[in-house]
Chains A and B, each alone.
Chain A
Amino acid sequence: MLQIIIFCLIGAATALMLCNLLVARERLVQFISVNVITSYVIVFICLLVVLDSRLASYLDVALLYALASFVVSIAVMKFYKGSK
């Protein structure tokens, strides 16, 4: 039961960030939303792995996802030019 509640809370947080992604006008705010959704997806993957040990290889995906998110965010912010 608690697991279902936690999955629903992660889903609600992700849905709120998706709403923010669609509503926001500035590109940087949209980029924040994508960055935070990445973190929520990492938590989701780790929760799946803990609940079902057959999915243990997905943790490597989560690890690479975290690293790729960091590299992409630094690269995009380095070369970001537009204000809106």
Chain B
Amino acid sequence: MVLLHYFGWTLVLFGVLVSLVGAVGCLRFSDFYTKLHALSVSDSLGVPISLAGLVVINGFNFVSLKIFFIIVILLFVNPFSTHALIRAGIKNKIHPIGEVKVPLSINEAEK
């Protein structure tokens, strides 16, 4: 039981560290798409792992069930939000810094 407790706190610590790395990456990277890349990956990994650690710490009860629902919602919601943000970036003609050019419109991207 004590081992499970420590395992849960380790998961929480790992998830929070991943989130922190993503936040640092967002500050360090230069343009919209790379910032979004850093944040979406770290957010999709770090936050659910932290919440899974909280489920392990709390044991299996009603609070854990609610936290599990939050994990499921976040696992579905984060990729959708990222996709919507990138789509809005392409629609509004935000180009990445450097030589790579994104298509100027969604229709052009689908050709």
Contact = CB atoms under 8 A, between A and B. Distances in A.
Interface residues on A, range: 35 or more
Interface residues on B, range: 35 or more
Given A28-B88, A59-B63, A6 B12 contact: yes
A9 B85 contact: no
A53 B63 contact: yes
Interface of A: 2, 5-6, 9-10, 12-13, 16-17, 19-20, 23, 26, 28-29, 31-33, 35-36, 39-40, 42-43, 46-47, 49-50, 53, 56, 59-60, 62-63, 66-67, 69-70, 73-74, 77-78, 80-83
Interface of B: 9, 12-13, 15-17, 19-20, 22-24, 26-27, 32, 35-36, 39, 43, 47, 50-51, 54, 57-58, 62-63, 66-67, 69-70, 73-74, 77-78, 80-81, 84-85, 87-89, 91-94
